[in-house]
Every structure is written in C-alpha cells, then in structure tokens.
Chains A and B, each alone.
Chain A
C-alpha cells in the first residue's frame, strides 16, 4: 500500500527564491503600467543583492576618495595658477629682495613696478604666530590644568562650554572686536607703557601711533588659538591613567608635584601636539589678523610696527590686483601657506594620535 506522504507546503513565501521571477508582481504602484521597470526586474532576478551592494560600496568609496581629490585639486590649481610668478622669480621669490633706487632701502613687494618677494609676509606670519604662541601656551595649559585637576565639579561643565564657545566664534567677529576695542586699548594704554619700559630692547619703537601692528595681531591670534591648545591639553591629560596620579600621590607629593610628574610628564607629547595644532591655526588665520596688523609690506624689528602676514596680504590685495603677475604672486603665497599648514597639521596629528591612540573623543 503506497504511503501517502504529504509534502509540506512552503512556509516562506516571502523569500525571493520561492517566488517565480515574473512580471505579474503585486507591488505595482501605477495600475496603468504593466509591471515593474526593467531595472527592477534585472536587480530582482539576481536573487541576491550582490550588485546593489557592490554599487553602494563603490559609491561610498568614491565619496571617501573625494578627500584625496580635494587635496589634489587645491594643490593642482594653486601650482597651475602660480606658474607665472614661478617662471619669473623662481625660488628667489622666498628670500630675495632688491634695492629701491629712490631711498636705497631693501624693497620686497612692489606691485607698481612688478617686483614681488614673499619675505615680509613670511616674517610677519612667523612673528605674529610665535608671539601668539608665547601668550597662548601658558594660558591654555594653565586653563587645562585648572579644568582637569583643580576645578570644582559643578564649574567644569559651564567652563568647558565657554571654552568651546570661544572656539566657535567666527574670525570676522574677533577681527571686528579687535579693531574697535583691542587696538584703541593697545594704542592708549599698553603701547606707551611698553615703549617706555622696554624700548631699550629695540622691539618696541614708539613711532606707530595707530595701535595696529604685530602686537595687536599676536594678541588676537592668541585669543583665537587658546581654545585649541586648552581642549587638546585637557584631552591628553584625561587620557593619563589614574594609577599614575595615585602612585605619585602615594609617594607624598603635593598636588602640583602630582600634576607635574604624574600627568604632564606623561602627556607632554600630546601637549606639544596641541601646541603645534594651535600654531597651524595661527599660521593660516586670515580675517582677524588682516584687520589689525596694519597692512604694510615691510620688515621692521619693532613689534609695534605695521606689517602683513601671508594670509592677510592675500585677503587685502587679491580683489584689487590688476596685473596677472600680482595675482599669480598672491596665489604662490597661498601655495606656500597651503604646504606649510599641511606639514604643521600633519605633524600635530601624528603627535596627538600617538598619545590618544586615535580613540574617539571621550566624554568631557
């Protein structure tokens, strides 16, 4: 007697392999059309999503490669557009000068006669950046030490928020404040004191009555890079394990000694990285510096003299540059700025990564 075997019906009708690939699909949105589009048929006929997955992955990889594309694009366009100056002046653009026939002084930047040399801007950038570091590093590290080790817990949140707010203020607002508040303050109260006390060093000459100059630029830059130095120092200090602090305290150290030996010594690579990151920001800062640095394309020893930085000369002169050579010279300065900031920022990233091991930012 044949055994009647009942074949169980398929209970997984939703899986694609149990459905015949047919044009009569239920999911027709427009009753007037005769079924899904050929594209959908093609994708569904595969039975799996390998094609769509591959296309998606390819699309996402393309988006990630756009980062490299941006760097390449900037480098390519800057090199192409500065060809005119490069062929005219060569490497001497960065260190040569010529003597002005009228007053026999060294002359660097003469748009009228078509002579261009980037020396005063390199000088101005270096002076304003290092002045800003001189002011910002002690203050930033001090703030970080206070926030991490000494601050009462209730104050920590608001103060950290305020520091984050300092970093978010756009540079034009800093420039506005610096031009209308900081510069008159320097002009009326600070510069005369500096000239009378420290004029003998040669770094403070009283012959610039405007209050603009390298000092104003350095001070506003310091205010702008403070949050970067402070927040990075805080991050690396928090990353130091508590066992280090406890060990130093167990040996009988005071709180400052605990900070110095247990925390700062371990975090010093990261702190240096934070300082270099601040330097990178200071080198490229444009709008605030342009408004207070005085816009004179000359080299002076005095910190109170007017000057120009690489970014500020581009911002001031580019819209009004008439000759192609002038524009090309400004673009070559931009190229130099691009290369310098890339190198400085890459160095800073390596140092910071070495300490925090690339972990995402921890809760503050």
Chain B
C-alpha cells in the first residue's frame, strides 16, 4: 500500500512540475511576439525616421524621399473633431451613471450597452457613418454626399463615447460620499456640486480615461477607409477627404514600392511611440491615486 501511495504522490508531483513548466512556456511564448513586434518595429522604423518624415508630404509612386506630414496633421484634425464629439457626451453619460442613475435599471442598461458597444468592430461604425453622411443626399446633414474629414471625425467620435463614459463612471464612483455631502452641506446647488466638486476631484482619472480612448481611436484605420478616405496632399478643410496616420500606413504597406514600405514602418513607429506614451502616462497617473490629485 505504501508503494501505490508513493507512486501516486510522485505522479502528482510530476504533474505539478509539468504544469509549472507549461505555464512558464506559455508566458515566454506570449512575450516573444511582443518583443518581436517591438524590436522589428524599432529596427525598421528607426532607420527610416528622419526630419523629412515630419515635414514633407508623400512623393509620387516610385520616387524616393517624402514623408507623412499630411497624415500627421490629418490625424490631428480628425482626433480633435473626435474628442470634441466624444469627450463631452461621454463625460455626461458617466456623470449620469455615477451621480443620478446609481443602482437604477436604466443605468444598468446603459452600462451594459456601452460595454457591448465597445466590442463592436470599428469597420461597422465606419459603414454606419458612410451610410449616414457620405452617401446621403440631404441638405439636413452637413458635409454630406462625399468623403470628408467631418465624417471621419464623427466616426471616431462615436467610437470614443462608450469608452469615455465607462471610465468616467468608474472614476466618479471612487470619489467618497463625504466630499459630495460637504459640498451640499455648504448650500451648493446639486449641479454645482457635481461639476465643481465631484468631477474636479476625479479629474485626473477622467482625463486619463479620455487619454485611453484617444489612444485607442488614434490607431483606428478601418472606419476611415470610406469616410475620410485619404488625401495625398496636406488638407485641413473639414469638407474634403483627409489623410490619417494609420490610413497612410495601410495604403503604403500594401503598395509594391520599397520606399513606401519604409515610410509605413516609420509611421508605425511614430504611432506606437504615441500610444506607449499615452498608456504609460495613464498607468503613472492612476497609480498615484485619484484623490491625491485633488488635494
């Protein structure tokens, strides 16, 4: 009997060791592509990154040189418009969920829908905006009937709303009740208390939530393919097609020219650098705590 017992415990010990090895292996296999993507990106991108990249527009096919200045400016325009649409409405939704609707069925439904909406593919948003603005022929809708920077900004903006709403709600929930009660006890109207006291207390967290949404839509390509459409020249006019950094990377990557491939790698490096910066900033601010920023 002692023999089968020791056999069984040896088998269990082997199982334990085997699973530990498998778990470590899984971790290494996951980290490897991350290291590979970043390393290759740095290697390929850094060698093609120079000042020309930031100040010149792309040259015609086959010619070397040129840069992606129009894509960077275009991305800036699109993201500004998207933030103008996404941030106020998203923060408003978050304020409703945290302050007025806490615990109600309506708030639960809104929260659930926002989470589901976060998972909808971005190309579907682009199709909806195409159908609403680009292919419409009514005078009610501004800039309708053709590809435009406005439609691209709207597509990115409605992608930002659910993300900003959820992160704002989570940050507002962290504000202690004592702060709200103190404000109301001083005789402040409810709207003043929410805006000037509660939101201001949670503002570092809310800003980082907006930054996260910003970083996410900065890298989106699919909704822009048939809304903003792309433009080989510098453009800041909302009524015309506009280039964006991820869109330009996509177009250059599938082209047959080596020069454009090099520019695509440099563009990808710039995009990744911006996103890593945003994510690191978010982590730094949230690790310091929501309330430390208030005092």
B187, A15: Cβ atoms under 8 Å?
A: yes
Residue among A61, A162, A337 making CB contact with B121, cutoff 8 Å: A337
Q: When each residue 158-201 of chain A gets 1 if its CB lies under 8 Å from chain B and 0 otherwise, what string results? A: 01011111101111111111011100000000000000000000
Interface of A is mostly: helix
How far apart are the CA atoms of A347 and B100 in the complex, in Å?
27
Chain B residue numbers with a CB within 8 Å of A226 are 30
How far apart are the CA atoms of A299 and B283 in the complex, in Å?
45
From A65-73, A86-94, A241-249, give the one contacting chain B: A65-73
A78, B222: Cβ atoms under 8 Å?
A: no
Q: When each residue 161-200 of chain B gets 1 if its CB lies under 8 Å from chain A and 0 otherwise, what string results? A: 1100100001001100000000000010111101100000
A176, B30: Cβ atoms under 8 Å?
A: no
Please judge, given known A-B contacts A53-B191, A71-B117, whether A334 and B279 are in contact too, CB under 8 Å: no
How big is chain A's contact interface, by range?
35 or more
Chain B min CB distance to A63 (Å): 3
How far apart are the CA atoms of A33 and B261 in the complex, in Å?
64
Chain A residue numbers with a CB within 8 Å of B24 are 146, 150
How far apart are the CA atoms of A349 and B30 in the complex, in Å?
25
Name A241-292 residues within 8 Å CB distance of B: 254-257, 259, 277, 280-281, 283-287, 291
Chain A min CB distance to B259 (Å): 15
B27, A171: Cβ atoms under 8 Å?
A: no
Q: Which of B95, B127, B170, B190 has the most CB of A within 10 A?
A: B127
Q: Which of A59, A314, A348 has the most CB of B within 10 A?
A: A314
How far apart are the CA atoms of A230 and B132 in the complex, in Å?
37
B93, A67: Cβ atoms under 8 Å?
A: yes
Please judge, given known A-B contacts A146-B23, A168-B215, A318-B226, whether A64 and B170 are in contact too, CB under 8 Å: no
A284, B119: Cβ atoms under 8 Å?
A: yes
Please judge, given known A-B contacts A61-B100, A66-B89, A177-B37, whether A78 and B16 are in contact too, CB under 8 Å: no
How far apart are the CA atoms of A63 and B127 in the complex, in Å?
23
A175, B96: Cβ atoms under 8 Å?
A: no
From B50-58, B61-69, B264-272, give the one contacting chain A: B264-272
A331 close to B (CB within 8 Å): yes
B16, A291: Cβ atoms under 8 Å?
A: no
Please judge, given known A-B contacts A49-B190, A287-B250, whether A64 and B101 are in contact too, CB under 8 Å: yes
How far apart are the CA atoms of A139 and B128 in the complex, in Å?
35
B30, A256: Cβ atoms under 8 Å?
A: no
Chain B min CB distance to A330 (Å): 8
Chain A residue numbers with a CB within 8 Å of B234 are none
B225 close to A (CB within 8 Å): yes
B173, A254: Cβ atoms under 8 Å?
A: no
A176, B190: Cβ atoms under 8 Å?
A: no
How far apart are the CA atoms of A53 and B283 in the complex, in Å?
35
A146, B219: Cβ atoms under 8 Å?
A: no
B13, A67: Cβ atoms under 8 Å?
A: no
How far apart are the CA atoms of A360 and B165 in the complex, in Å?
14
A349 (CB) vs chain B CBs: closest residue: B115
Residue among A57, A150, A259, A319 making CB contact with B225, cutoff 8 Å: A319
Chain B min CB distance to A59 (Å): 7
How far apart are the CA atoms of A280 and B121 in the complex, in Å?
9
Chain B residue numbers with a CB within 8 Å of A174 are 37
A143 close to B (CB within 8 Å): yes
Chain B residue numbers with a CB within 8 Å of A77 are 127-128, 131-132
Residue among A80, A177, A344 making CB contact with B131, cutoff 8 Å: A80
B138 close to A (CB within 8 Å): no
B151 close to A (CB within 8 Å): no
Lowest 4 A-B CB distances belong to which pairs?
Answer: A170-B219, A284-B121, A63-B92, A142-B26
* Chain B interface (Cβ < 8 Å from any Cβ of A): 12-13, 15-16, 19-20, 22-27, 29-31, 33-34, 36-37, 40-41, 44, 88-93, 95-97, 99-101, 106-107, 109-125, 127-128, 131-132, 135, 158, 161-162, 165, 170, 173-174, 187, 189-192, 194-195, 215-216, 218-222, 225-226, 229, 246, 249-250, 253-254, 261, 264-265, 268, 271-272, 275-276, 279, 283
Name 14 interchain pairs, CB-CB below 8 A, sorted by A.
A48-B189, A62-B92, A64-B92, A74-B120, A140-B26, A162-B31, A170-B271, A172-B219, A172-B253, A173-B219, A173-B271, A280-B119, A286-B123, A349-B112
Q: A52-B191, A180-B44, A345-B116 are in contact. List 12 more A-B contacts (CB 8 A).
A: A59-B92, A63-B165, A67-B165, A71-B117, A73-B128, A169-B219, A173-B249, A223-B33, A255-B16, A284-B124, A286-B121, A334-B123
